[in-house]
Amino acid sequence: MKVFHTVSGLRDDLNKDRLKGLRIGFVPTMGNLHGGHLALIKQARETNDIVVCSIFVNALQFGLNEDWDKYPRTYQGDCDKLRDAGCDYLFHPDDIEMYPNGLDTQSRVICPTMTDVLCGASRPGHFEGVTTVVSKLFNIVQPDEAIFGIKDYQQLAVIRRMAEDLCMPIQISSAPIHREPDGLAMSSRNSYITAEERPLVIVLKDSLAWIAEEIKAGNRDFVGLEGTAKSRIIEAGFKIDYVTICNSKTLDQAADDDLEITILGAMFTESARLIDNLSISL
């Protein structure tokens, strides 16, 4: 695996690959890699000749009171995992390489829809940071395909809309949620969960699954279902961010006649914010 810290270095090698007609797949990450990330690398390996992964903890998508400085940075271990997974190129820039003119004057990419609800409501400016850095990474790597995990469902929807709106010639692909043995969605922030909380956090997944079964059985009282699920999570000892039943494409509140529905939830443990989702077709 080749490692690059500069835009010019990565581009030079990728340009040679393009001249050979090789297809390039891209997996952007913030590091602290787990099985979910490695599944994205594997999927990219299956559909592309060259696999590029980036590791960059993007300050632009963290709020004032969020955990940018505490976010786990495990670079050497990440490199070992990527080599074992068959990654060809790792792009690991520093802040100056990504934002040479500083964050305050950085040009921004803004998606005006789907970004002020759900995670966007509780993390103002988050998706502006995501779309800005992802658009920069797309311009740097210029991949044929980029792969994102469905766990960050809203992020995936926003990036798809951005790529469509800006006519980016990139296939945006998704990968299923990768889960721990008990069903907890894998996340870099799972390391923040305390030993006492760990057996209980599955309540988020279980609550979303319960809603899905109720809807499949014909229950269309979406507000009532959301309320009951929230109560279950609170009773387990956690603070609710949101539990919402949405139209899968628009992320608007689901209507009674919607056939493609996604149930999304987020909750706070003592030191972590966990998200999960479940989609159903009726």
Same domain, 118 and 8: yes
Same domain, 68 and 96: yes
Domain count, the chain: 2
Same domain, 224 and 118: no
Same domain, 217 and 171: no
Q: Which of 175, 204, 229 is the last residue of a domain?
A: 175
pLDDT in tens, 162-185: 999 999 999 999 999 999 999 999
Same domain, 68 and 93: yes
What pLDDT does residue 64 have? 65
Please report which confidence band the pLDDT of residue 71 belongs to, taking 50, 70 and 90 as the band edges: confident
Q: Of how many residues is the chain composed? A: 282
Same domain, 116 and 247: no
Residue 149's closest CA among 15, 250, 35, 273? 35
Residue 182 lies in a domain: no
Supply φ then ψ for residue 189, to 5 degrees: -85, -5
Same domain, 35 and 111: yes
What is the DSSP annotation of 176-227?
PPPB-TTSPBP-GGGGGS-TTTTTTTTHHHHHHHHHHHHHHTT---HHHHHH
Average pLDDT value for residue range 62-83: 87
Residue 180 lies in a domain: no
Same domain, 207 and 156: no
| Residue with token string 């005006």 | 112
Residues annotated as part of the active site? 37
Q: Which of 154, 175, 196 is the last residue of a domain?
A: 175
pLDDT in tens, 22-48: 999 999 999 999 999 999 999 999 999
Q: Which of 175, 205, 235 is the last residue of a domain?
A: 175
Same domain, 96 and 195: no
- Note if the pTM is more than 0.85: yes
Q: Which domain holds residue 236?
A: 188-277
Same domain, 26 and 153: yes
Same domain, 16 and 109: yes
d(CA 231, CA 241): 12
pLDDT in tens, 138-163: 999 999 999 999 999 999 999 999 99
Same domain, 168 and 197: no
| CATH code, domain carrying 130 | 3.40.50.620
Residue 282 lies in a domain: no
| CATH code, domain carrying 268 | 3.30.1300.10
Task: Compute the mean pLDDT over every residue in the chain, rounded to the nearest whole number.
Answer: 95
Cα atoms in the 13 Å half-sphere on the side-chain side of 135: 24
Residue 110 lies in a domain: yes
